């Protein structure tokens, strides 16, 4: 998830509709799975307070596909390069079933002050457990269960990208960020449309998604997704006493 500085025409297979709510269920085909493509997106994250901007990190998200035992899988590898000479490095490796985003494994690696810590988790329906036989796993004894099958919150942008976005729709689903709090149900509303500047400065027609991440005291987080690709272009939210949080898409690099 990593979202508080820390989500029509719904295909019958994806959801049960109640009014304008769309319930997204683990294991059901995602209506716009074809939009998720191999490649890398990079974002700059920063804080704004009293007119000053402070960089947090550069966040890279790389999507790839693989086949294992005849099963098509999608991997989302994320890297946070902390700002400054002493910035930490964080990696998240998420493995899911392609087309549904049914989660399989999640591995988190954090390097700070020369010390590396690894936490590896396995998803199994409503349960998330530490992978006991993985060497060096600091989360081997971890176990938690929700009341229903869970999506992995860590690759949230890629999950959002595959939803059937349309004005007025609210997506409801159970998600969990391994190692954090408790699993919960969240609501992500397509509040409308907007045109904002893309990474090259040109205007991009976007869907505007809002959510309070079940913490209304922090206000709404807003996310803009390009209508054509449903790639996230920008995210903004409250960062408490640290100010206003912004995550914005960077132009692609030569090797992407």
Instruction: Give residue 2's pLDDT.
Output: 44
pLDDT band at 187, cuts 50/70/90? very high
Task: Tell the burial category of 138 from Cβ atoms under 10 Å away from its Cβ (0-12, 13-18, 19+).
Answer: middle
Instruction: Give residue 82's pLDDT.
Output: 83
In angstroms, rounded to a whole number, what is the distance separating the alpha carbons of residues 206 and 161? 12
User: How many C-beta atoms lie closer than 10 Å to residue 84's C-beta?
Assistant: 9
Give the closest residue to 234 by CA, choosing from 80, 18, 44: 44
The separation between the first and the last C-alpha atoms of the chain, rounded to the nearest angstrom, is 24
Instruction: Give residue 141's pLDDT.
Output: 97
pTM beyond 0.85: yes
Instruction: Give residue 83's pLDDT.
Output: 76
User: How many C-beta atoms lie closer than 10 Å to residue 182's C-beta?
Assistant: 8
So where are the chain's domains? Answer: 15-249
pLDDT tens-digit readout, 92-128: 999 999 999 999 999 999 998 889 999 999 999 999 9
pLDDT band at 90, cuts 50/70/90? very high
In angstroms, rounded to a whole number, what is the distance separating the alpha carbons of residues 215 and 1? 14
Cβ proximity of 235 and 221 under 8 Å: yes
Give the closest residue to 247 by CA, choosing from 108, 37, 58, 83: 58
Cβ proximity of 99 and 29 under 8 Å: yes
Instruction: Give residue 14's pLDDT.
Output: 39
Give the closest residue to 141 by CA, choosing from 152, 155, 151, 130: 130
In angstroms, rounded to a whole number, what is the distance separating the alpha carbons of residues 112 and 89? 7
């Amino acid at each position: 998830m990593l979202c508080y500085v820390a989500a029509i025409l719904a295909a019958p297979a994806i959801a049960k509709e109640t009014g304008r709510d769309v319930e997204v269920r683990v294991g059901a085909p995602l209506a716009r799975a074809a939009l998720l493509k191999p490649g890398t997106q990079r974002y700059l994250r920063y804080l704004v307070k009293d007119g000053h901007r402070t960089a947090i990190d550069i966040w890279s998200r790389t999507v790839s596909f693989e086949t294992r035992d005849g099963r098509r899988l999608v991997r989302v590898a994320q890297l946070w390069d902390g700002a400054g000479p002493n910035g930490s490095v964080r990696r998240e490796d998420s493995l899911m079933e392609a087309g549904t985003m049914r989660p399989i494994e999640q591995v988190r690696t954090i390097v700070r002050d020369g010390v590396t810590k690894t936490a590896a988790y396995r998803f199994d329906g409503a349960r998330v457990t530490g992978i006991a036989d993985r060497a060096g796993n600091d989360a081997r004894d971890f176990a938690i269960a929700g009341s229903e099958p869970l999506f992995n919150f860590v690759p949230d942008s890629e999950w959002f990208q595959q939803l059937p976005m349309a004005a007025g729709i609210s997506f409801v689903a159970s998600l969990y960020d391994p190692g954090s709090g408790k699993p919960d149900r969240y609501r992500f509303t397509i509040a409308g449309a907007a045109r904002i500047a893309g990474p090259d400065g040109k205007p991009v027609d976007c869907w505007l998604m809002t959510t309070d991440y079940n913490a209304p005291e922090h206000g709404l987080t807003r996310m803009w997704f390009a209508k054509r690709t449903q790639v996230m272009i920008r995210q903004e939210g409250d960062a408490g006493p640290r100010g206003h949080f912004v995550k914005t898409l960077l132009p692609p690099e030569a090797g992407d």
